[in-house]
A and B are shown apart, each in its own frame.
Chain A
């Protein structure tokens, strides 16, 4: 395991050093990209000065809103849908095709309908995330052993009790996977929408900085977004593997 970690560290470090070298040697010119150490320095300066805190807060709040609404709606919808085979069969082609559809293409339409506020961005994040949650919830519920369901029946639990005390706890690893996917999609949806067209938010600030050739703002903000999403992803992945290991599935 430690050998693996070392290898991973070496790959990342090698990549950063390569970029640093290319930038310093002038192969990548200053207008295209400042050297990595300058980006990190600018990021620290930005944080100390407290610049863009309002934008960062707004983006994160919208991501959280899109994530939590998609997650709650998705788990509830998945649980209900699991009981209705016909409805599920009808929706199955939709689920299979859903992620092939460029959801961002609906963004202009949403702007026309809801105006250029937070609504369209949260909606895009929600739409990207929700189907992954439904599909993963269904997937988990399919794997609940028959014996557990029978135990619930023998004990006379009603459907709500069965869901809360038997099936959903059994599905915990799947629900965690669903959370991981939903968070990633909510992030992509909200930041992406801000980037395409918005009036504030991290994505907007990046595109604004791009139009003004303001690399000292653009690169630190990009780095910050990458750090946010990678941190969230690795945290949830780690938790997921701990949960799976406890069940002896990995």
Chain B
């Protein structure tokens, strides 16, 4: 019985993945070679693509931009989240504004970023970072707020200085929820970086994708899309597993 319980999520995931591939194959059989490739063809083409040098250049460029954007989003998000979480009035006032900012189509701001940074890696980094920073800040804010007051009072009684308070009490207590914020921030930063590359870039996977449309290269479109989805889904599944362990552990 115990074994069955622990195996259920794994079994469900397998069923889901098989189901998605069947759906893909079926869509391919209906739409045909004009616009789609089968899962097998896509994986084969991806294998071929991975043996070219150009692909690795694009991938490296995307990953570099993504890593830098993520670092900025996390650092800035934690800073904003802690500051607003510790100061009640600022938190109450700014939280709804952050939520409103979160819901705007940020892509319309991209031209402004391009004008400010110029076309290149720094614009991509900035665009990825503005996608990721808000969820990290919002989750951190709510994590800091939901810390049990007794912990904070203990810190006050011990006369801890603000930096020690954050390091020894607030951060450990808020870690599970902050981690959820990091997970969401990770996904959104990736989306932001790729989106930035899809418009006005000369390198990166997003650029490769847009370039493939003008060349009507369906193999390339499908394999790059597949790679991005695979990467995002795998990392998210891993982070989700850690996330659940932190919340229930």
State the A residues within 8 Å of B (CB).
Answer: 3-4, 7-8, 11-12, 31-33, 89-94, 96-97, 99-102, 104-109, 111-113, 180, 184, 187-188, 191-192, 195-197, 203, 206-207, 209-210, 218, 221-222, 225-226, 229-230, 233-234, 237
Contact = CB atoms under 8 A, between A and B. Distances in A.
B108 A112 contact: no
B195 A104 contact: yes
A218 B235 CA distance: 37
B199 to A, nearest CB: 6
Given A188-B105, A206-B108, A196 B92 contact: no
Contacts of A97: 232-233, 236-237, 240
Contact of A90 (B15, B103, B116): B15
Interface string B100-119: 10111111111110111000
A113 B212 CA distance: 14
Interface string B213-249: 1001010011011001100110111001000000000
Chain A binding site: helix, strand, loop or mixed by DSSP?
helix
A112 B114 contact: no
Interface residues of B, number: 62
Nearest to A186: B105
Given A91-B16, A93-B9, A93-B12, A8 B97 contact: yes
- Determine the main DSSP class of B at the interface with A: helix
Given A109-B221, A196-B210, A102 B195 contact: yes
Contacts of A11: 93-94, 97
B166 to A, nearest CB: 24
B217 to A, nearest CB: 10
Contacts of A12: 97
Contacts of B90: 7
Contacts of B162: none
A197 B210 contact: yes
Contacts of A89: 8-9, 12
A50 B13 CA distance: 52
Nearest to A188: B105
Contacts of B92: 4
A177 B15 CA distance: 30
